[in-house]
Amino acid sequence: MAGIRSTRTRTSRVGANPPLSGTARDTIRGVTGTLISVAPTGAETPKSKAPALPVTLDELVATAKECEAAGAAVIHVHLRDANDASSLDVGYAKEVVAALHEATDLIVQLSTGGAVTDPEEARLAVLDAQPDAASLTCGTVNFGDDVFLNRPAFIAEMYTRMQERGVVPEFECFEPGHLATVERLVGKYGPPYGGHVHVDLVMGVPGAMPGNAGMVAACVAILPDGATFSATGVGRTTLPVMLAALAHGGHLRVGMEDTLTFAAGEPVRDNAQLVERAATLATLAQRPPLSPRAARELLGI
């Protein structure tokens, strides 16, 4: 798929990286390897209920370093303000992006979802922080007792702004029908920035598609041609979704945004523990974790 390239000048340390080494952790698209993303915070759980949740800038940077060492290549960032509430403040988002780039080689992916109540303009403004990538939710979905609204016109506006600003989208799909939205966006507006379609299947959210092997297989069967996918299992669906995704050649997203229990009766220690488990499973599947460098090649960053 031919890529749409922005004329925007981006400051990045990627150019200083050495050529790909050829080791298992430096494989790219078309070669076995697993992209591991970590979603360390989310917008819903208060720190008072999960003390290991990183909510300050210092905590987020420390978590990023630990997760990169454990095998993560992407960090999916939700911001929190000084009162531990979800935030889409653009000035703070710029500070976070800069700090994460300074401290790690991770791909910095900002959430444009925020909390389910955040207004559209605030969600669009997140792109002004110039992250490497950002989430693009591809449809409205029941979200527990709430409704996460994503109008078609808003989705299209977010997608075309990402093209213009040189931000790689991760197409976030909470329902199988959201994959049809991905097809329509690419068909009408052209390929995403970077030229490659990468989907994240978010599974197990109450009110949305379940997180099980059958649903992973059903979604894989209707992926757009040439697309790659990651899968996220929320709560107790984490392990079944992770194993099914690996079996279908997919990639993984883990983190305390999505699960706070490591095993029955055992709270998650920290985000690095979840990344370590994902990396271990990927290695056992003979698809070891991709380095951030190789992940950039995969995603077109």
The predicted pLDDT at position 142 comes to: 95
- Supply the pTM of this predicted model: 0.90
Q: What 3-state DSSP class applies to 233?
A: strand
Residue 107 DSSP SS3:
strand
Among 257, 133, 153, smallest CA distance to 197 is for 133
Token digits of residue 256:
């305390």
Q: For 211-249, what is each residue's pLDDT tens digit?
A: 999 999 999 999 999 999 999 999 999 999 999 999 999
The whole-number pLDDT of residue 30 equals: 55
Below-70 pLDDT ranges, the chain = 1-31
Give the closest residue to 233 by CA, choosing from 264, 267, 274, 202. Answer: 202
* Closest to 53 (Cα-Cα) out of 42, 41, 37: 41
Tokens of 43: 């917008």
The whole-number pLDDT of residue 57 equals: 97
pLDDT at 152: 97
The DSSP annotation for 152-213 comes to: HHHHHHHHHHHHHHT-EEEEEESSTTHHHHHHHHHHHH-SPBTS--EEEEEE--TTS---SH
Determine the Cα–Cα distance for residues 32 and 15; give it in Å rounded to an integer. 24
* Plot region of 130 (φ>0 → left; ψ -120 to 50 → alpha; else → beta): left
CB 201 within 8 A of CB 172: no
Encode 227-237: b = buried (16+ Cβ within 10 Å), e = exposed.
bbbbbbbbeeb
Looking up tokens 């990627």, which residue turns up? 14
Alpha helices in 4-142 (DSSP H): 57-70, 90-103, 120-125
Whole-number pLDDT of residue 27: 39
> 29-299 is classed in which CATH architecture?
Alpha-Beta Barrel (3.20)
Domain boundaries, the chain: 29-299
pLDDT in tens, 28-65: 445 479 999 999 999 999 999 999 999 999 999 999 99
- Which long-range CB contacts under 8 A does 267-271 form with residues at least 24 apart? 267/50, 268/50, 268/52, 269/52, 270/52, 270/63, 270/66, 271/38, 271/40, 271/52, 271/54, 271/63, 271/66, 271/67
Query: What pLDDT, on a 0 to 100 scale, did the predictor assign at position 290?
Result: 98
